[in-house]
Amino acid sequence: MRKTQAIEQHPSYIPPPLINTDVAMESATAVLFPGESEGYVQSLETYPLKEIGSARWFRQHEYIEKLNMQAILNATASQDEFVKEHLISYSKIPTLIYEVISVEIWKHKVFPILCQLQDFNPKSTFPIYMVIHHEATIINLLETVLFHKESCEAAEEAVLDLLDYCLRKVTCLAAQTVTGETPTQDKLTQSDHSDTATLQDLQEQSTALEFDVSLKALSILRYITDHIDSLTLSTLTRMLNTHNLPCVLVQLVEHCPWSRRTKGQLEKYMDGKWYQVPKVDQLKMTKLDGQVWICLLNLLLRPECQQKYDFNDFNKGQLLKLRGFLTEVLIDQLPNLGELQRFLSHLSVTDPAPPKRDLILEQIPEIMDNILKENSSKWKAIAKYQVRQAFDPCDEDLQQHARRLAQTYNLDVMESLIPEKPKCGFCGSEASKRCSRCQGEWYCCRECQVKHWQKHKKACELMAETVSKLQGDLKIEA
């Protein structure tokens, strides 16, 4: 203790004071009040494809970002989920589904044209990045609210469009895994987006973000299968017969895209990051593994599903591959898999009855088809219009964007959304205090901060100077 006090007396060894974040974290449990949330939800609307990136569209993006953060905070804290209730009462879940499909189409039809325009050299690619990120924000919000049965019911006919969207994502994920081209988040974690990013960088970041979006889509598929009895018959038929979802899930079990080996070390993708898995935990089921197995349980063991699914030779052969993965260790973690194991054993020696062919008036998804028909052969014109109107903003517009986003992404709120508690920068134990100067490094106590100061000092000064310069520039411009 005396040694620590002596070190602190030397000026070059005196770090800035620590901030106790316990109070700040408690106050960060609310992004929106229920009344604000209701107003935001009520204002949500669908936009034509060419309006993506406009000022009104960006305002709605901010609303959805805040609604998403508040929904996650309420769900993780087991509080009143008023965001979900407002989305249901104002029938806005179909609006969110429309918006996420609209951005998906924009990414595939318009974004590649933007990247090929020779005369397009924007000062900042940040507005385009926010459009790409918009898809992930909406799918995250849908994942949070569709956990509940009433939310799935509130999607009404749009649930078919959402089902097709999720199946497109999961099918591409399975196909890329089979060919060894599974996208990862490495490029996003190595270098975050900056204003100096090129359009090529944006394409790489979009591909990396697609991986995370696909995993969210898998969770939504699981929730839809959980509530299949309260949805339309067309939903079940589309999952089992049109898209053959059980066989797609078999591919995910077999190739496991959220697991990889790097330099001989097993890594698994959890909570948005790749983690090295110790040998003692390598057989432990992850949340993503659980989502796939629960989907299979819902689709294969329910009587109404067994009557609808075609157990032909191909499908039967694919499903029987699952027997090799149903080990005792796995069944101990999810005991319901024992019932699936018995079903597969029975399936291997019998031929189930052919599926019932009921004469029904089948519903079909309409959102994607309508958007494609409305904008057919207009993709290049839309890209040029958006270059002029949205994606080449002046300095004043960029500064206004920066101010608004700084208010949206409150630091304390973002930290409260992190699933793991921060670790001390010196000893690695759980930390509740952070450096008051840069607010980026965490410590468990003052003594650890002092010991770590010589290593942290340069980074701390650089971050503090950068923030100070930005704040000074904003004041001068204001």
What string of DSSP letters covers 26-88?
A: HHTT-SS-HHHHHHHHHH-----GGGTTSHHHHHHHHHHHHHHHHHHHHHHTT---HHHHHHH
Contacts of 189 (CB under 8 A, 6+ apart): 273
79 with 144, same domain: the answer is yes
Examine the fold and report which residue of 393, 424, 439 is the final residue of a domain before the chain moves on. 393
Angle at 303 between CA 301 and CA 309, to 5 degrees: 80
Please tell me whether residue 443 adopts helix, strand or coil conformation.
strand
What is the DSSP secondary structure assignment for residue 430, as one 8-state letter? B
14 with 54, same domain: the answer is no
Please tell me whether residue 354 adopts helix, strand or coil conformation.
coil
17 with 92, same domain: the answer is no
306 with 454, same domain: the answer is no
Angle at 20 between CA 15 and CA 21, to 5 degrees: 125
18 with 73, same domain: the answer is no
Q: Domains in the chain: how many in total?
A: 2
Q: Report the C-alpha gap between 173 and 158 in whole angstroms.
A: 23
Give rounded-to-5 percent helix, strand, coil for the chain.
65, 5, 30
Q: Report the C-alpha gap between 195 and 53 in whole angstroms.
A: 16
Contacts of 151 (CB under 8 A, 6+ apart): 84, 87, 88, 93, 145
Residue 296 placed within a domain: yes
| Residue 224 pLDDT | 95
| Residue 3 pLDDT | 42
Residue 244 placed within a domain: yes
Give the residue ranges of the chain where pLDDT is below 50.
1-12, 22-28, 184-196, 414, 416, 473-478
138 with 213, same domain: the answer is yes
Domain of 469 in residue numbering reads as: 2-22+414-477
Residue 267 β-bridge partners:
260, 276
368 with 453, same domain: the answer is no
| Residue 116 pLDDT | 86
279 with 357, same domain: the answer is yes
CB 351 within 8 A of CB 223: no
Q: Which of 206, 218, 78, 208 is nearest to 142 (CA)?
A: 218
363 with 278, same domain: the answer is yes
Residue 398 placed within a domain: no
Contacts of 27 (CB under 8 A, 6+ apart): 412
Residue 406 placed within a domain: no
Residue 401 placed within a domain: no
State the DSSP H helix or E strand holding residue 269, giving kind and residue range, or none if neither: strand 265-270
Residue 117 placed within a domain: yes
Q: No. of H helices and E strands in the chain?
A: 24, 6
Contacts of 231 (CB under 8 A, 6+ apart): 152, 153, 159, 224
Task: Report the amino acid identity of residue 293.
Answer: W
Residue 408 placed within a domain: no
Residue 191 placed within a domain: yes
Please tell me whether residue 266 adopts helix, strand or coil conformation.
strand
Task: Report the amino acid identity of residue 336.
Answer: N
| Residue 314 pLDDT | 94
Examine the fold and report which residue of 393, 423, 443 is the final residue of a domain before the chain moves on. 393
348 with 256, same domain: the answer is yes
6 with 97, same domain: the answer is no
| Residue 33 pLDDT | 87
| Residue 337 pLDDT | 95
181 with 294, same domain: the answer is yes
CA 272 to each of CA 63, 66, 127, 288, 419: distance values in angstroms, whole numbers, following the listed order: 23, 19, 23, 12, 10
Examine the fold and report which residue of 359, 393, 427 is the final residue of a domain before the chain moves on. 393
Please tell me whether residue 262 adopts helix, strand or coil conformation.
strand
Task: Report the amino acid identity of residue 253.
Answer: V
The answer to whether the Cα torsion of 194, 198, 199, 200 is positive or negative is: negative
